[in-house]
Amino acid sequence: MSALDFAKAPALARPLRWIMSAPVWGVLAGLWLLWRGPHLLIGRWMPETAALAHLFALGVLGNAMFGALLQFLPVAVGCPLRLGRVADVLHAIFNLGLLALAFGLATGNAPALAAAPFLLASAPIGFAAALPSLLRHGALRAARGGIAFALLALLCTATTGALAALVLRGDFALPLPPLVDSHAALGLLGWVLGLLAAVGSITQPMFQGARRLPDRVLIGGFALAGLALGLGIAARSGADSQTVLALALALPGLLWVLAAAGPNRKRGATLVHFWRAGALALGIACLIAPLVAMQRLPERAGLAAGALALGAGFPLLVTGMMLEIVAFLAWIALRRACPRGVRVPGTGLLAPEADKRLVLALHLLSALALTTATLWPDALARAAGGFMMLAHAATLFFLVRTLRRARRFRDGLPSTVCSKEETQ
């Protein structure tokens, strides 16, 4: 913890607003699947299926990752965003844009599809303000470079997504499948996995007891991911080769899985199990996707690979992080509010392992139900939606419970001892 600069942490409510929105979108995704059932799992090119995918990619993953960045950049790598209240405005605009996108995809509403890209672009542009400070010379060069790589990939993801929405509206005449595949590749490998790798290079040794990778290995990994993205997108756009793109995504993905699932000193920690389960789901998806592209497996297996990555693997990784981050935020707020000499409860008391284990079990059930539902949608789609709702509702419940524990401790002390405003 000594490497973290707690004095630079933003106000509790700022990152919390983003993080607490993530499980809400997970509940809505489950409700959408529960309502529409097998119709959402016919194939990846169904507009309603695309809406479900974006509820995960933007609603669950996007909110969680933006919230984590607000806290992580100033505290861990010394790159304050200085967005202030603008971050709150970006949160509202981003989530409004997601609502417009989901509505536009599900109903074919042209005005919603036109407005969504501009609303959604606000957050990537706002967070790109961190790029100049990330690219300066300083400590944690590999982690800072990795976050910069992820943010650049995010800007490209937003650009290709906006183009895809305009093509879908009929404003541009471009081939949609290569554009959508490039958009997904940039988002999943460049933005999501890139940010997880960069942040994990610091948090895994700190919270999981994992071995810290040398900077040259991390930098090489990000260079490989960038090269793979460039070659894969060029092959998909120029030669219409899904196989090259699938292999280009799978190789860096599998290398990250091997690194993330390596030995940890804290083997019993629930966060380790979240990461290993998420890494396993991603690893299986990386093995399946090239075989589907080479037509060695049926197209429905590709839908299962997408569910393993977007609906199971990444949410497991992000949920494990959210449980730790919210406990950490609550602890920082208490530490700020109470003077030296007051012993505040640690993160392990604010978010006990028993709470995390229950959330993990529910997310594992949701992941299993969703993956099997892609193979037998008529029988299992609605059940998968129910499990999904339950898992993300439990996540939200226990995040709120963590904050209430911190508030109860603060309220139990005299007002002359702890400031009430600091932990609001």
pLDDT digits (tens, 9 = 90+) for 212-267: 778 888 899 999 999 999 999 999 998 888 999 999 999 999 999 888 776 666 65
* Start-to-end CA span in the chain (Å): 24
Tell me how crowded residue 211 is: count the other CB atoms within 10 A of its CB: 12
Q: Has residue 370 got a pLDDT over 90?
A: yes
Residue 174: how many CB atoms within 10 A of its CB? 12
Domain 6-337+345-410 has CATH 1.20.210.10: yes
What gap in Å lies between CA 272 and CA 268, rounded to an integer? Answer: 7
Range 198-210 average pLDDT: 79
Look at residue 412 and give its three-state secondary structure.
coil
The answer to whether 378 touches 370, Cβ cutoff 8 Å, is no
Q: Over 70: is that where the pLDDT of 188 sits?
A: yes
Tens digits of residue pLDDT in 271-311: 889 999 999 999 999 999 999 999 999 989 999 999 999 99
CA atoms within 13 A on the CB side of 320: 26
Considering the entire predicted model, what is its pTM? 0.93
Cα distance between residue 61 and residue 22, in whole Å? 7
pLDDT, mean of residues 147-156: 94
CB neighbourhood size of 121 (10 A): 18
H or E stretch covering 161: helix 141-169
Question: CB of 62 within 8 A of CB of 150?
Answer: no
Instruction: For the beta carbon of residue 160, count every other beta carbon within 10 angstroms.
Output: 20
